[in-house]
Chains A and B, each alone.
Chain A
Amino acid sequence: MAAVTYQAQALGLGGSRAVEASSDHELIAGVRDGNEDAFQEIVRRYRNPITNFVYRMLDDYDRSVELAQETFIRVYTSASRYQANHNFSTYIYRIASNLAISEIRQRKRRKLVSLFSPFTNEEGDTIELDPPDHSSLQDESLIQDERRRAVTRAIASLPQKYRAAIVLRDIEEMSYDRIAQVLSLSEGTVKSRINRARNLLKEKLVAYI
C-alpha cells in the first residue's frame, strides 16, 4: 500500500511516461488524489475492451458506448471508495457487467411481445428463435461478414445470465475465477453457465462450425 501511495505521489509529479508505466492500482490511487492524467490512462487502457464487452452483451453499439462511459464515470466518482482487494480489471468489468445486465432487464420489461422470442427454456428464460441458416454464400468476404453477424446475433439471443459468462470467457478470455468475481458467482456456477451457453451456441451456429 505504501508503494501504491508512493507511486501515486510520483504520478502527481511525473509526466505521461510515469503514468503509462503505472499499474492499474497505482492509477486508481492517482485518480483518488485528483490526478486527471491517471484517469485518462485508465480510460485509454479499458475503453475498447469495455465497449466491446458491453456491445457483446447488448448488440447495440450506441448504447454500449454510453454504458462504457457510464462505467468510467462510476470508476471516477467512486475512486475514493475503491479497495485494492481484486484486480482493477475485475472491478471495472463488474461495473460494466452490472450496467449491461440492468440495461437488458429494462429492455426485457419494455418488450411486450417479440415474434422472435416466443419460447422459454426449462428455467423460464426467454430463448429467441434464431434458426440456423443453411443457405450457401458466394463470396469469402460476404461469408466473413455473415459469420460475424451470425455470431453477434447468436450471442445476443442467449439468456442474459449465460451471455455475460460466455462473453467474458470466450471473447474476453478471462479465467473462470475472475469471471466468478466479476459476476459475483461461484466458480461452479460459472462453469455450468458457460457449458450451457456453448451448447446453445452450437445449435445456433451449426452452419459455421
Chain B
Amino acid sequence: MDCRNIRILIDQADKGDSLPLEASRHADGCPQCRGFADERLRLRRLLAASSRVTAPANFDAMLRARLARGRSRNWLGWFVPALSMRGAAAVAMLAIAAFAVQLFLINNKKIPVETAVNQTAATNAENAATTSGDNKALPGVEINTAPGAAANTKLTPIKSTGRRGINAAHQIQARNDIEPIEAAAVLLMRDLTLDRQFTVSAISIGAQPIMSLDGDSQRSRIVRTSF
C-alpha cells in the first residue's frame, strides 16, 4: 500500500493513537507518514480538549415557557395566518375592490354621443400606427367623421372568433339603418365586444381601437387594436 492510502487509513482511524495494523507498520518505516500520523493525533486531541459549553441553568424553565407559549398559540394557529399571507390577502382584496369600482363606473357611466372622434386621440393613434408601420397592412373599418356625413354610422358589437382584438376590429361593420350617432368605438373585453359605445380616448380599459384619421377625406378607420 502506498503512502497516499496509508494516510487515508490514518485519517479515518477511530482513534488517533491506535492506528490500523497496516498503517502502523508502514508508519514505522516511513518518516513522512509517521509525521502525518503525529500531526493528525495532535490536531484531534486539540479539538477534543477544547472546552465544552453547557446549557444555562434556566434552560428547562425557558423551554417550558416556550412550550407553553406554543401550546396557547396552536389552537389559534389556523385562525391567525402568517404575516406574508395576510399581506397577500390585503393586496388581493385591494385589487378586487379597484376592479369592482372600475367595472361599476363603466357600467353606470352614461356617455353622450359626441359629434366627432376625438381628434387628438386619433392623431396620437395615427402616430403610433405610423411608427409601427402596419397601418396600411390592416384593412380597417371606415367611419365617416365628417360633420353630417357621420350621422348614420353605428358600430355593431360582434363576438370575436380569432385573435383577440384585431379580428374583432376587422369584423366591426358600419350600419346605416339604426339611430344616428356621430362617433363611437367599441370596448373589447375578453374576446367580446360589449354592448356599449364609447368615445375614443387615449387610455381605456382592455382593448382599445386605434383610429387613423385621413385629413383630406375626413374619414377615419380602425387600423389596429391595442391592449
User: Closest approach, in angstroms, between the C-beta of B109 and any C-beta of chain A?
Assistant: 50
A residues near B14, Cβ cutoff 8 Å: 175
Pick from A47, A73, A147, A208: contact of B66, CB below 8 A.
Answer: A73
A79 CB–B CB distance under 8 Å:
no
A residues 40-78 near B (Cβ < 8 Å) are 40, 43-44, 47-48, 51-52, 55, 61, 64-65, 68-69, 72-73, 76-77
Bound form: Cα–Cα A52–B59 in Å: 13
A4 CB–B CB distance under 8 Å:
no
A209 CB–B CB distance under 8 Å:
yes
- B46 near A205 (CB under 8 angstroms)? yes
A residues near B52, Cβ cutoff 8 Å: 48, 52, 171
Question: Which of B21-29, B35-43, B111-119, B128-136 is near enough to bind chain A?
Answer: B35-43
Query: Which B residue sits closest to A167, measured CB to CB?
Result: B47
A122 CB–B CB distance under 8 Å:
no
- A68 near B46 (CB under 8 angstroms)? no
B177 CB–A CB distance under 8 Å:
no
Bound form: Cα–Cα A79–B102 in Å: 53
- A202 near B39 (CB under 8 angstroms)? yes
Pick from A43, A48, A173, A176: contact of B48, CB below 8 A.
Answer: A173
Chain B at the A interface: mostly helix, strand, loop or mixed? helix
Interface centre among B14, B39, B50 (most CB of A within 10 A): B50
Bound form: Cα–Cα A69–B69 in Å: 13
Bound form: Cα–Cα A151–B67 in Å: 34
Interface size, chain A (Cβ < 8 Å): 37
- B47 near A68 (CB under 8 angstroms)? no
Interface centre among B48, B59, B63 (most CB of A within 10 A): B63
B70 CB–A CB distance under 8 Å:
yes
Given known contacts A52-B53, A69-B66, A151-B50, is B44 in contact with A47 (CB within 8 Å)? no
Query: Which B residue sits closest to A194, measured CB to CB?
Result: B11
- B43 near A43 (CB under 8 angstroms)? no
User: Closest approach, in angstroms, between the C-beta of A51 and any C-beta of chain B?
Assistant: 4
User: Closest approach, in angstroms, between the C-beta of B67 and any C-beta of chain A?
Assistant: 6
Given known contacts A151-B47, A173-B48, A176-B12, is B55 in contact with A72 (CB within 8 Å)? no
B216 CB–A CB distance under 8 Å:
no
Query: Which A residue sits closest to B58, measured CB to CB?
Result: A65
B54 CB–A CB distance under 8 Å:
yes
User: Closest approach, in angstroms, between the C-beta of A94 and any C-beta of chain B?
Assistant: 19
Given known contacts A65-B59, A73-B66, A198-B11, is B53 in contact with A51 (CB within 8 Å)? yes
A residues near B51, Cβ cutoff 8 Å: 148
B residues near A175, Cβ cutoff 8 Å: 14
**Can you name 25 A-B pairs with beta carbons within 8 Å?**
A43-B59, A43-B63, A47-B59, A47-B60, A51-B53, A51-B59, A52-B52, A52-B53, A55-B53, A68-B55, A69-B59, A69-B62, A69-B66, A76-B67, A147-B50, A151-B46, A155-B47, A166-B47, A170-B48, A191-B11, A202-B39, A202-B43, A205-B43, A208-B46, A209-B43
Which residues of chain A have a CB within 8 Å of any CB of chain B?
A: 40, 43-44, 47-48, 51-52, 55, 61, 64-65, 68-69, 72-73, 76-77, 147-148, 151-152, 155, 166, 170-171, 173, 175-176, 191, 194-195, 198, 201-202, 205, 208-209
Beyond the given A65-B56, A69-B66, could you list 18 further A-B residue pairs with CB under 8 A, ordered by the A residue number?
A40-B60, A44-B60, A48-B55, A51-B54, A61-B53, A65-B59, A68-B55, A77-B70, A147-B46, A152-B50, A171-B47, A201-B43, A201-B47, A205-B43, A205-B46, A208-B46, A209-B39, A209-B42
